[in-house]
Amino acid sequence: MCFIIFRPLCQTQAKLATLRLREMLIKKCLGFGKSFYDKYTFAYLQQILTTSTDLIELRCKIFQEFISEFLLMVCYLFIMLMVSWKLTLAIALIFPVLALMTAKAIRKIRTAATERHKRTLIINERILNMLYCLPIIKSFSKRALSWKSFQKTVRKKLSSPFICRSCLVWWPC
């Protein structure tokens, strides 16, 4: 219950800190002379007053969320210890193994997704090249050869992980 109240309170604190920082920066900018405004552009000042302060606010929110999540984890650990210290010890030993296995699975999925993306780009490039060359292909009567080349590319795509069946949709020859 405490965490439900703590999180919005922390976010409000971060917003208030950002507003105060902007007010201080504006007061400081109002005190500068003409040479400052000749040296720095309006876009530069706007970036400092908006983007930079938004980044500071985001970092504060992330830090405060980390603190609240850490405290929540400590509470869970305390409750687990009260229920069964043996089970808590077993979970503490098993958790790192599960975390490593999950990280390895995520790396494999990212690698496979990257490969799929590369293959999709290759197919899209070949389709674009074929579309650009359609007048030439028709003039030299190479439609059948071109179609076989495209089918070969699609078959390679279908044999790869993360099969994309939408590649089978193609114009009729």
- Provide, rounded to the nearest whole percent, the portion of the chain with pLDDT above 70: 75
Better-predicted residue by pLDDT, 13 or 167 = 13
For 92-142, write each residue's pLDDT tens digit: 899 999 999 999 999 999 999 999 889 888 878 877 777 777 666 666 666
Question: Token pair for residue 156?
Answer: 């390679």
Average pLDDT, the chain: 77
Please state the domain extents for the chain.
1-83, 84-164
Better-predicted residue by pLDDT, 173 or 75 = 75
Burial 14-44 (b: 16+ CB within 10 A, else e): beeebeeebeeeeeeeeeeeeeeeeeeeeee
State the pLDDT at residue 36.
Answer: 79
